[in-house]
Structure 1
Amino acid sequence: MVDRLAGIAATRGTAVAVRRRRGGWSPLTLAALAIVAVVFAPIAGLVWFAVQGSGDLWPHLVRTVLPVALQTTFLLLVGVGIVVAVVGVGTAWLVATFRFPGRRLFEWALLLPLSVPTYILAYAYLDVLHPIGPVQSTLRDLLGITSPRDLWFPEIRSLGGAITLLGFVLYPYVYLPARALFMMQSKAAVEVARTLGSGPARTFFTVALPLARPAVAVGTSLALMEALNDIGASEFLGVRTLTVAIYTTWVTRSSIEGAAQIALMMLVVVFALLLVERAGRHHQRYVGRAGRTHPAAPLPLGGLKAVAATLACALPVVIGFVVPASYLVAEAGKRVRAFGLPPDLASWIGNSLLLALVATALTVLTGLFLAYVARFSPRRGAHLIVRLAGIGYTIPGTVLAVGMLVPLASFDNLVDGWARATLGISTGLLLSGSGAALVIAYVIRFLAISSGGIEAGLTKISPSLDMAAKSLGAGHARLVGRIHAPMLRPAITAAALLVFVDCMKELPIALLLRPFNFETLATHVYAEAARGTYEDGAVAALMIVLVGLVPIALLAGTSFREAPSGGSARSPSAVSS
Structure 2
Amino acid sequence: MTDQTLPDTPRVRPHRRARFAPRGLSVVALGVAVVCLLPMLAVVVAAFSGGTDTVAHLVSTVLPRYAGNTLLLALIVSFGTFAIGVGAAWLVTMTRFPGVRWIEVVLVLPLAFPAYVLAYAYTHILDHPGVVQTALRDVMGYGPRDYWFPEIRSLGGAALMLVLVLYPYVYLLARASFLQQSGTTFLAARALGSSAWSAFFRVSLPLARPAIAAGVLLAVMETIADFGTVAYFGVQTFATGIYTSWFSLADRAGAAQLALCLLSFALLLAVLERMQRGRSKYYDPARRSQDKTLILLKGWAGWVACAACLLPVVLGALLPAAVLFWMGLGSEQNLLSARYVGFLQNSLTLAGTAAVVTVFAAIVVGFYQRLQPGRISAGAAYAARLGYAVPGGVIAVGLLVPFAAFDNALDGWMRATFDVPTGLLITGSIWLLIGAYLVRFSAAALGAYEGGQALVHANMDAASRSLGQTPIGTLRRVHLPILTPSLLTALLIVFVDVMKELPATLIMRPFNYDTLAVQAYRLASDERLDGAAVPSLVIVAMGLLPVILICRQVGRQR
**Distance change >3 Å, CA 559–CA 421, structure 1 → 2:** farther
User: Does structure 1 retain, via aligned residues, the 8 Å contact 2:113–2:540?
Assistant: yes
1:536 to 508, 515, 531: 531
Counterparts of 1:366-377 in structure 2, within 5 Å, are 366-377=361-372
TM-score between both structures, scaled by the size of structure 2: 0.91
Cα RMSD of the aligned pairs, angstroms, is: 2.7
1:261 paired residue number: 257
Q: Which amino acid aligns with 2:96?
A: R
Q: Is 2:454 aligned against 1:459? A: yes
How many Å apart are 1:121 and its aligned residue?
A: 1.1
How many Å apart are 1:280 and its aligned residue?
A: 4.2
1:527 paired residue number: 522
- Helix, strand or coil: the match of 1:518? coil
**Distance change >3 Å, CA 294–CA 509, structure 1 → 2:** farther
How many Å apart are 1:424 and its aligned residue?
A: 8.2
1:154 to 143, 150, 157: 150
Q: Is 2:72 aligned against 1:46? A: no
- Helix, strand or coil: the match of 2:214? helix
Q: Is 2:346 aligned against 1:345? A: no
**Distance change >3 Å, CA 41–CA 340, structure 1 → 2:** closer
Q: Is 2:401 aligned against 1:406? A: yes
1:498 paired residue number: 493
How many Å apart are 1:25 and its aligned residue?
A: 9.7
2:200 to 200, 204, 211: 204
Q: Which amino acid aligns with 1:137?
A: T
How many Å apart are 1:192 and its aligned residue?
A: 2.9
**Distance change >3 Å, CA 405–CA 365, structure 1 → 2:** same
2:190 paired residue number: 194
CA distance in 2 between counterparts of 1:197 and 1:312 reads 27
How many Å apart are 1:527 and its aligned residue?
A: 0.6
**Distance change >3 Å, CA 339–CA 515, structure 1 → 2:** closer
Q: Is 2:261 aligned against 1:270? A: no
Counterparts of 1:260-409 in structure 2, within 5 Å, are 260-278=256-274, 280-281=276-277, 283-287=279-283, 292=288, 295-335=291-331, 344-409=339-404
2:85 paired residue number: 88
Q: Is 2:121 aligned against 1:120? A: no
- Helix, strand or coil: the match of 1:101? coil
**Distance change >3 Å, CA 504–CA 360, structure 1 → 2:** same
How many Å apart are 1:509 and its aligned residue?
A: 0.4
Q: Out of 417-426 and 208-217, give the one that drifted further.
A: 417-426
Counterparts of 1:440-479 in structure 2, within 5 Å, are 440-479=435-474
Q: Which amino acid aligns with 2:189?
A: A
Q: Out of 400-409 and 112-121, give the one that drifted further.
A: 400-409
Q: Which amino acid aligns with 1:249?
A: S
1:100 paired residue number: 97
User: Does structure 2 retain, via aligned residues, the 8 Å contact 1:50–1:261?
Assistant: yes
Q: Which amino acid aligns with 2:377?
A: A
- Helix, strand or coil: the match of 1:532? coil
1:249 to 233, 245, 249: 245
Instruction: Output one character per residue of 1:147-199: Cα deviation in whole Å (capped at 9) or x when no partner.
Output: 23323211112222222221111111111111111111123333333333332
2:33 paired residue number: 36
**Distance change >3 Å, CA 332–CA 381, structure 1 → 2:** same
CA distance in 2 between counterparts of 1:203 and 1:278 reads 29
CA distance in 1 between counterparts of 2:156 and 2:465 reads 60
CA distance in 1 between counterparts of 2:207 and 2:287 reads 19
2:131 to 130, 134, 143: 134
| Count of residues paired in the alignment | 546
Q: Is 2:528 aligned against 1:553? A: no
How many Å apart are 1:463 and its aligned residue?
A: 1.3
- Helix, strand or coil: the match of 2:522? helix
Instruction: Output one character per residue of 1:261-298: Cα deviation in whole Å (capped at 9) or x when no partner.
Output: 11111111112223433454463314579995765243
CA distance in 1 between counterparts of 2:530 and 2:147 reads 25
- Helix, strand or coil: the match of 1:150? coil
1:223 paired residue number: 219
CA distance in 2 between counterparts of 1:468 and 1:418 reads 55
Q: Which amino acid aligns with 2:453?
A: L
- Helix, strand or coil: the match of 1:120? helix
1:183 paired residue number: 179
How many Å apart are 1:259 and its aligned residue?
A: 0.5
**Distance change >3 Å, CA 92–CA 52, structure 1 → 2:** same
**Distance change >3 Å, CA 289–CA 407, structure 1 → 2:** farther
Q: Which amino acid aligns with 2:17?
A: V
Q: Out of 540-549 and 143-152, give the one that drifted further.
A: 143-152
- Unaligned runs of 5+ residues in structure 1 are 1-10, 564-577
2:63 paired residue number: 66
- Unaligned runs of 5+ residues in structure 2 are 1-12
- Helix, strand or coil: the match of 1:344? helix
CA distance in 1 between counterparts of 2:132 and 2:338 reads 31
**Distance change >3 Å, CA 411–CA 16, structure 1 → 2:** farther
User: Does structure 2 retain, via aligned residues, the 8 Å contact 1:41–1:403?
Assistant: yes
- Helix, strand or coil: the match of 1:15? coil
CA distance in 2 between counterparts of 1:54 and 1:250 reads 16
How many Å apart are 1:341 and its aligned residue?
A: 5.5
User: Does structure 1 retain, via aligned residues, the 8 Å contact 2:126–2:133?
Assistant: yes
Instruction: Output one character per residue of 1:495-521: Cα deviation in whole Å (capped at 9) or x when no partner.
Output: 111100000010000110011111100
2:229 paired residue number: 233
Instruction: Output one character per residue of 1:368-416: Cα deviation in whole Å (capped at 9) or x when no partner.
Output: 1111111111434422321112211111011111111133235546776
CA distance in 2 between counterparts of 1:379 and 1:95 reads 42
CA distance in 2 between counterparts of 1:362 and 1:50 reads 30
CA distance in 1 between counterparts of 2:157 and 2:265 reads 22
CA distance in 2 between counterparts of 1:96 and 1:551 reads 23
How many Å apart are 1:83 and its aligned residue?
A: 0.5
CA distance in 1 between counterparts of 2:413 and 2:30 reads 25
1:3 paired residue number: none
Q: Out of 274-283 and 249-258, give the one that drifted further.
A: 274-283
User: Does structure 2 retain, via aligned residues, the 8 Å contact 1:185–1:293?
Assistant: no
How many Å apart are 1:136 and its aligned residue?
A: 1.7
Q: Out of 296-305 and 110-119, give the one that drifted further.
A: 296-305
How many Å apart are 1:256 and its aligned residue?
A: 1.0
